[in-house]
Amino acid sequence: MKIQKGEVLSEGLAVGSVHLEFTKTYDHHADTIVTEKQKLEDAIAMSLQQINQMRQNDPENEEYLVIQSLLIGDPFLKEKALKMIEDGISASFAIQQILNDSIDSIAQATNRYLKERTLDIQDVMNRILSNLSHDQYPDLTNERIYIAKELHPSYLIQNRNYLLGVITEKGGYSSHAAILCRQWNIPYMICSQLSHLSLRENDEVIIDTRKKHILIAPTQEKKQEYREWIELLSKEEYRAIAHPSFGFLANVSSNKELDKVMEYGFDGVGLYRTEMIFMNTLRPYTFEEQYEIYEDAVCRLQGKPICFRTFDIGDDKQLSYVQTYKKGVDNYIHNPLLFKTQIKALLKANRFNTMKIMFPMITSYQEFLFLKKWVLQIQQEMEDTGTVFIGMMLETKEALEKIEEFQGVDFISIGTNDLTEAIYQIERDDQRQQLKKYLSDLVEKLKKVVLFCQKNKIELSVCGELAAIPQAAKMFYQIGIKNLSVSPQAIKILNKVYKDLYASSHSL
């Protein structure tokens, strides 16, 4: 048995046989111009038909599949490919060259979000090329651990019922595929040495994300040990245990996730990323459209508190229809209509007086006060908006250093992702792997925030990825941060951390 270390993108355990990525080289021999043009037309039409079928079969991934449809049906792509065909180039070579050029261009970006979108374009390219060659990627027919250079979201969507786990050579924590794996509780690890492991079809492996281990050719005893552990874990419900005086909150990006928030017994939503709504359209949502979304979210929670973060764009999150500036208040100042429309829609949706509005990337109390006054002014222009709590994300060095100035906030939510990057220059995707370098120091720095909030009766929570790492969650609880906001799938982590702390406190 061989043990290989890897990085974790989605937690879990898996034991199974390997299915290797299907690879194909494409024949770029060109037929007549007329034939190649028709092949292109047919391949694009077939690709769109397949995506539409997937949308019908899997409506919860509508947003991603709509983007795939837009990329496949892009008139610029088709027009450019047709011109290349007229120059004697095959349809397959034209598609590959055009989309590879786009991928290369995006890969040069320093923006992590844009870099991870290259996989979406590769997904489109593979689909069109497969339809040009009439050689489809085979779907899984039994449960396997999938091994590939990269994980394409459409493959994951089509085969999720047969995927025990995934190991790839490349990948990112905020990639769409990784998000889906966490959503569907599929263990996912990346291993930079994957190509050197000489894995073959049907080889047996074990994925253990707790230890960050990939076990190759495990013994029968080891496989049985892990199967028993998996069976034991599977009996644990995705349901919050009783947790008096502690807050179990959820991070969400869409209304469809709220069903799990209620099903799993969360106390409310600690972070609703409203910018994700905006990022799935090619135009701004109207007041009425936003109101319908926010009201539906409030109603789904049935009176539980919900915290909406105002749209947080810039850097890794760009909107095609908005001129973005540095993240934070500048985006609201330069896009006042967009901000005002969102605030009005949120205020109108506040049916149960349980709404919180949170501003991101605040660097000073003056910034917070400016935005709070703006919200109150909008509220005065409206009727029956009820009581709304207005707070901020603590995710900048400047705000942390001047925390004692923020006495007028209703609540503070610590965004550990950006705060860690700002203080220690460690990017989000590397923070889990480099935990030892900064966690103790970060927790020490946050003690003054806890004391400030306790003194001024300000509600305090953590909503960054660190809240879902047991070691970090325990340390947050121990210094007095009792409200943690995590992805719905991490409810078992909060349960375990709470049980461990409860057990240790009663053994003293």
DSSP 234-256: HTS-SSPPP-TT-EEEEEESSGG
The strand pair at 483-486 and 268-273 is best described as unpaired
CA dihedral 76→82→84→90, nearest 10 degrees, is: 120
> What local confidence, expressed as pLDDT, does residue 59 receive?
77
Q: Distance between terminal CA atoms of the chain?
A: 41
DSSP three-state, residue 140: coil
CA–CA distance, 439 with 399 (Å, rounded to integer)? 19
CA–CA distance, 11 with 465 (Å, rounded to integer)? 13
Query: 62-109, pLDDT tens digit by residue?
Result: 778 888 999 999 999 999 999 999 999 999 999 999 999 998 888 776
Long-range contacts of 243-249 (CB under 8 A, 24+ apart): 243/494, 243/498, 245/482, 246/477, 246/482, 246/483, 246/484, 246/498, 247/461, 247/482, 247/483, 247/484, 248/484, 248/491, 248/494, 249/307, 249/461, 249/463, 249/483, 249/484, 249/485, 249/486
Tokens of 290: 């936003």
> What local confidence, expressed as pLDDT, does residue 111 receive?
56
> What local confidence, expressed as pLDDT, does residue 507 receive?
47
Burial class (CB in 10 A: 0-12, 13-18, 19+), 147: buried
Query: 351-365, pLDDT tens digit by residue?
Result: 889 999 999 999 999
CA–CA distance, 342 with 334 (Å, rounded to integer)? 14
CA dihedral 113→465→375→482, nearest 10 degrees, is: 180
> What local confidence, expressed as pLDDT, does residue 147 receive?
96
* Farthest-apart Cα atoms in the chain, separation: 82
pTM of the model: 0.73
Distance of CA 389 to the CA centre of its chain: 26
**2-19+141-234 against 247-505: fold identical:** no
Count of Cβ atoms closer than 10 Å to residue 37 Cβ: 17
CB 227 within 8 A of CB 219: no
- The superfamily in CATH containing domain 247-505 is Phosphoenolpyruvate-binding domains (3.20.20.60)
CA–CA distance, 298 with 290 (Å, rounded to integer)? 12
> What local confidence, expressed as pLDDT, does residue 284 receive?
87
Burial class (CB in 10 A: 0-12, 13-18, 19+), 77: buried
Strands (E), 282-388: 306-309, 355-359
Q: 118-133 and 176-183 are packed helices; what angle lies between their axes, rounded to 10 degrees?
A: 90
Say how many residues make up the chain: 508
Beta-bridge mates of residue 460 = 412
CB 132 within 8 A of CB 95: yes
CA–CA distance, 168 with 152 (Å, rounded to integer)? 10
Q: Which CATH number fits domain 2-19+141-234: 3.40.605.10, 3.40.50.261, 3.50.30.10, 3.40.30.10?
A: 3.50.30.10
Count of Cβ atoms closer than 10 Å to residue 280 Cβ: 14
CB 27 within 8 A of CB 92: yes
DSSP 175-241: SHHHHHHHHTT--EEE-TTGGGS---TT-EEEEETTTTEEEES--HHHHHHHHHHHHHHHTS-SSPP
> What local confidence, expressed as pLDDT, does residue 325 receive?
65
Q: What average pLDDT does the structure give for the chain?
A: 90
The ranges assigned to domains in the chain are 2-19+141-234, 33-133, 247-505
* Low-confidence spans in the chain with pLDDT less than 50: 507-508
Region of residue 425 (left: phi > 0; alpha: psi -120 to 50; beta: else)? left
> What local confidence, expressed as pLDDT, does residue 348 receive?
96
CB 144 within 8 A of CB 16: yes
Identify the CATH number of the domain defined by range 33-133.
1.10.274.10
> What local confidence, expressed as pLDDT, does residue 195 receive?
84
Distance of CA 332 to the CA centre of its chain: 24
> What local confidence, expressed as pLDDT, does residue 320 receive?
67
CA–CA distance, 252 with 265 (Å, rounded to integer)? 15
CA–CA distance, 263 with 245 (Å, rounded to integer)? 21
